[in-house]
């Protein structure tokens, strides 16, 4: 049922139209657009009088042809502009050299920001997406398959800018005990992050002088340093003389030797740059009827199986602490990559409305392939929709469902009202104006591509102090940002599919099973209010248990791993 409404206030409408077009040219205005769209759609819904205790049918939609046409034109502008091949991301330290981890099949399992910038790649890439000679490609393939006699292969890989090839060393990684993984690192003299503090404390060098030292190590001469720093050549030469005086070096040769010695000292204090938590223990591909489903695993391969359903803005990456706890407590986290996310092939065998049921059949094949018996289904955030749909499909083959910061069925308008602005706008758009949703999502991707990750994080969690505190942890911040890129690797389709389902009443899938349910939820979750979760638990009090986490927002999985393990233990022992 589509409802046609009288026009909004002309000023409100004109401001919205202006913001729609501006965002195509100025990505940083996304938050302003979201504010105008929020005001507009709330007024439309108010006129419909739908925000009351009896929510209208699921197919109720708003329609205003003029506004829809503006969205369509702006969407064309966004698509014509395209996405940048390499996000403008400044390096935080000079120690950041391109590093990648490949599975034995050639799948890219992990990469750092420097690699993404250098090669213009993202989650889901394979060795075939990198440009190198046929000879070098053959050598790497032989190394990955165990046919190459040497333990290290040195090859030259072309960067995204098409300029000088980068020398990359491929070696067997020791970070995974379950599968042969291979690390590729650019071969160059790195600048450990603690080198600067050592030079500052030992010789009194200023930040500017330390930067010049780092450029000298890279092999730049004074003229090149001046160009890099946009300084006068005379200024650079004067600064180098001061550095020589402070370090008691007779010349640049002696200075460079001293810098190399200092860097070796700094390396002893620098942790391994490859975060083990970002590299799964095992990567496998499950063959389905019409495509292959990538699956990543963590924890004890002989432990209690847990099928992990990622949400719409997170991936399968775990913190280092959670990874250790999974091993210690004997849990095997099995993480399928859902269709259209990361490198997973889209599933076009049915409409959006049947996506959860189709994924449930995929998981059934996963269980048959791996031999996993009576798993716990863990739905994270929007993944809860898929966890319950899978439980309904598999019946007695499932032990229990654990909802972590998960959504619950939309059964009242107050659930929309309790959301923070950005989440509410997306939810209302998906619920009432689904034709506009692709633009809203695509514009958000444009902001992430152009305005940077910091602004995107701030926009997402600015009304959630608990989550802002959590993402201040660099490990968690990197995981959250990686989840964003995991979602948008193939564009906006994955987000569009999930947005459709999280704003609808999927209570039937909950009613179709009688297995135990655990709910692990932050009291200050900005998306799914704790009151909504309490109501859900009350409706299923005979088999649902709720654990409320104080001083916690949406990022429970990363901030409270011990609480997660405790919930898994209860379900395993029930």
With tokens 């991301």, the residue in question is: 89
With tokens 């600064």, the residue in question is: 239
Cα separation, 23 vs 450, whole angstroms: 11
Rounded mean pLDDT, 120-136 = 85
Residue 2: what pLDDT?
42
| Inter-axis angle of helices 30-48 and 10-25, nearest 10 | 150
Residues 6+ apart with CB under 8 A from 287: 365, 369
Do the Cβ atoms of 122 and 485 come closer than 8 Å? yes
Q: Which has the closest alpha carbon to 72: 24, 37, 25, 38?
A: 24
Do the Cβ atoms of 147 and 137 come closer than 8 Å? no
- C-alpha distances (whole Å) from 50 to each of 268, 414, 416 are 63, 11, 12
Confidence label for 3 from pLDDT (cuts 50, 70 and 90): very low
Phi, psi of 312 (to 5 degrees): -95, -15
With tokens 């009351």, the residue in question is: 52
Residue 392: what pLDDT?
95
Q: CA 219 from chain center: how many Å?
A: 36
Residue 158: what pLDDT?
93
Cα separation, 398 vs 536, whole angstroms: 21
Q: Does the pTM of the predicted model rise above 0.95?
A: no
Residues 6+ apart with CB under 8 A from 454: none
| Inter-axis angle of helices 493-502 and 383-394, nearest 10 | 70
Do the Cβ atoms of 316 and 335 come closer than 8 Å? yes
Hey, which of 76-80, 184-188, 284-288 has the most confident mean pLDDT?
284-288
Q: What percent of the chain has pLDDT over 70?
A: 81
Phi, psi of 197 (to 5 degrees): -60, -35
Q: Is the pLDDT of residue 335 over 90?
A: yes
For residue 199, how many other CB atoms are within 10 A of its CB? 24
Cα separation, 286 vs 303, whole angstroms: 20
Q: What are 395-425's pLDDT values in tens digits?
A: 999 999 999 999 888 767 777 777 766 777 7
Q: Is the pLDDT of residue 216 over 60?
A: yes
- What's the helix, strand, coil split of the chain in %, to 5? 50, 15, 35
Residue 81: what pLDDT?
54
Cα separation, 109 vs 101, whole angstroms: 5
DSSP 131: B
Rounded mean pLDDT, 264-278 = 57
Do the Cβ atoms of 66 and 8 come closer than 8 Å? no
Hey, which of 17-31, 427-441, 461-475, 548-562 has the most confident mean pLDDT?
548-562
- C-alpha distances (whole Å) from 314 to each of 96, 166, 466, 512 are 24, 31, 18, 27
Q: Which residues pair with 184 in a beta bridge?
A: 100, 170
- C-alpha distances (whole Å) from 543 to each of 96, 140, 141, 564, 568 are 49, 53, 51, 18, 15
Rounded mean pLDDT, 197-203 = 90
Q: Is the pLDDT of residue 49 over 50?
A: no
Cα separation, 480 vs 468, whole angstroms: 12
Mapping DSSP onto H, E and C, the string for 270-291 reads CCCCCCHHHCCCEEEEEECCCC
* Helix or strand (DSSP H, E) at 411: none
Q: Is the pLDDT of residue 478 over 80?
A: yes
DSSP 192: -
With tokens 């969205």, the residue in question is: 71
Do the Cβ atoms of 479 and 317 come closer than 8 Å? yes
Cα separation, 102 vs 279, whole angstroms: 10
Residue 398: what pLDDT?
95
Domain architecture of the chain: domains with CATH: 99-189 (3.30.450.20), 195-269 (1.10.10.10), 288-420+463-573 (3.40.50.1820)
Q: What is the mean pLDDT of the chain?
A: 81
Q: 401 or 220: which carries more pLDDT confidence?
A: 401
Do the Cβ atoms of 152 and 192 come closer than 8 Å? no
For residue 158, how many other CB atoms are within 10 A of its CB? 16
Q: Is the pLDDT of residue 80 over 70?
A: no
Cα separation, 179 vs 57, whole angstroms: 49
Cα separation, 3 vs 61, whole angstroms: 6
Residue 121: what pLDDT?
79
Rounded mean pLDDT, 349-365 = 94
Residues 451, 457, 463, 465: is their CA dihedral positive or negative?
A: negative
Cα separation, 491 vs 469, whole angstroms: 29
For residue 53, how many other CB atoms are within 10 A of its CB? 8
For residue 378, how many other CB atoms are within 10 A of its CB? 30
Q: How would you class 327 by CB atoms within 10 Å of its CB: exposed for 0-12, middle for 13-18, buried for 19 or more?
A: middle
Rounded mean pLDDT, 141-165 = 86
Cα separation, 489 vs 550, whole angstroms: 34
Mapping DSSP onto H, E and C, the string for 422-462 reads HHHHHHHHHHHCHHHHHHHHHHHHHHHHHHCHHHHHHHHHC
Residue 134: what pLDDT?
92
Q: Which has the closest alpha carbon to 325: 558, 574, 571, 573?
A: 558
Do the Cβ atoms of 325 and 565 come closer than 8 Å? yes
Confidence label for 189 from pLDDT (cuts 50, 70 and 90): low
Residue 107: what pLDDT?
83
Residues 6+ apart with CB under 8 A from 271: none
**Which has the minimum average pLDDT: 31-40, 42-51, 489-498, 531-540?**
42-51
Confidence label for 276 from pLDDT (cuts 50, 70 and 90): very low
Side-chain-side CA neighbours of 46 within 13 Å: the count stands at 9
With tokens 């890129």, the residue in question is: 485
Do the Cβ atoms of 318 and 270 come closer than 8 Å? no
Do the Cβ atoms of 312 and 382 come closer than 8 Å? yes
């Amino acid at each position: 049922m589509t409802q046609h409404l009288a026009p909004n206030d002309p000023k409100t409408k004109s401001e919205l139209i202006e913001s729609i077009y501006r965002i195509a040219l100025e990505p940083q205005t996304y938050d302003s657009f979201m504010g105008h769209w929020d005001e507009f759609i709330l007024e439309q819904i108010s006129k419909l009088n739908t925000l009351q205790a009896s929510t209208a049918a699921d197919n109720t939609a708003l329609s205003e042809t003029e506004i829809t046409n503006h969205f369509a034109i702006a969407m064309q502008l966004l698509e014509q502009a395209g996405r940048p091949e390499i996000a403008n991301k400044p390096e935080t330290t000079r120690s950041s050299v391109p590093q990648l981890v490949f599975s034995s099949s050639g799948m890219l399992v992990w990469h750092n920001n420097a690699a993404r910038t250098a090669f213009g790649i993202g989650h889901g890439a394979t060795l075939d997406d990198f440009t190198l000679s046929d000879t070098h490609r053959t050598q790497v393939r032989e190394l990955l398959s165990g046919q190459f006699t040497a333990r290290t292969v040195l090859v030259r890989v072309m960067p995204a800018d098409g300029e000088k090839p980068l020398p990359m060393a491929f070696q067997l990684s020791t970070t995974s005990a379950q599968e042969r993984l291979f690390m590729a690192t650019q071969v160059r003299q790195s600048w450990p992050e603690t080198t600067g503090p050592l030079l500052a404390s030992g010789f009194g060098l200023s930040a500017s002088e330390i930067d010049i030292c780092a450029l000298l190590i890279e092999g730049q001469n004074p003229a090149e340093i001046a160009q890099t720093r946009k300084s006068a050549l005379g200024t650079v030469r004067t600064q180098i003389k001061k550095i020589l005086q402070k370090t008691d070096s007779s010349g640049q040769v002696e200075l460079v030797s001293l810098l190399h010695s200092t860097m070796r000292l700094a390396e002893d204090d620098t942790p391994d740059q490859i975060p083990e938590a970002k590299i799964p223990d095992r990567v496998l591909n499950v063959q389905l009827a019409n495509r292959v489903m990538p699956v990543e695993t963590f924890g004890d391969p002989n432990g209690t199986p847990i099928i992990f359903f990622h949400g719409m803005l997170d991936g399968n990456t775990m913190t280092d602490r959670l990874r250790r706890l999974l091993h210690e407590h004997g849990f095997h986290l099995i993480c399928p990559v859902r269709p259209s996310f990361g490198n997973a092939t889209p599933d076009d065998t049915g409409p959006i409305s049947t996506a959860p049921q189709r994924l449930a059949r995929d998981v059934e094949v996963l269980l048959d392939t791996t031999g996993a018996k009576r798993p716990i289904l863990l739905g994270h955030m929007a993944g809860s929709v898929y966890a319950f749909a899978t439980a309904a499909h598999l019946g007695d083959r499932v032990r229990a469902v654990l909802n972590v910061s998960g959504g619950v069925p939309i059964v009242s308008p107050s659930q929309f009202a309790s959301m923070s602005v950005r989440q509410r706008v997306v939810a209302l758009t998906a619920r009432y104006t689904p034709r506009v949703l692709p633009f809203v999502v695509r514009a958000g991707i444009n902001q992430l591509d152009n305005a940077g990750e910091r602004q995107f994080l701030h926009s997402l969690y600015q009304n959630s102090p608990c989550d802002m505190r959590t993402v201040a942890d660099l490990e968690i911040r990197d995981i959250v940002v990686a989840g964003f890129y995991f979602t948008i690797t193939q564009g906006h389709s994955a987000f569009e599919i999930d947005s459709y389902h999280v704003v609808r009443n999927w209570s039937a899938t909950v009613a179709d099973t009688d297995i135990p349910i655990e709910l692990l939820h932050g009291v200050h979750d900005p998306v799914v209010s704790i009151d909504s979760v309490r109501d859900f638990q009350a409706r299923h009090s005979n088999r649902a248990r709720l654990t409320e986490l104080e001083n916690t927002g949406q990022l429970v999985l990363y901030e409270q791993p011990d609480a997660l393990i405790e919930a898994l233990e209860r379900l395993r022992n029930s």
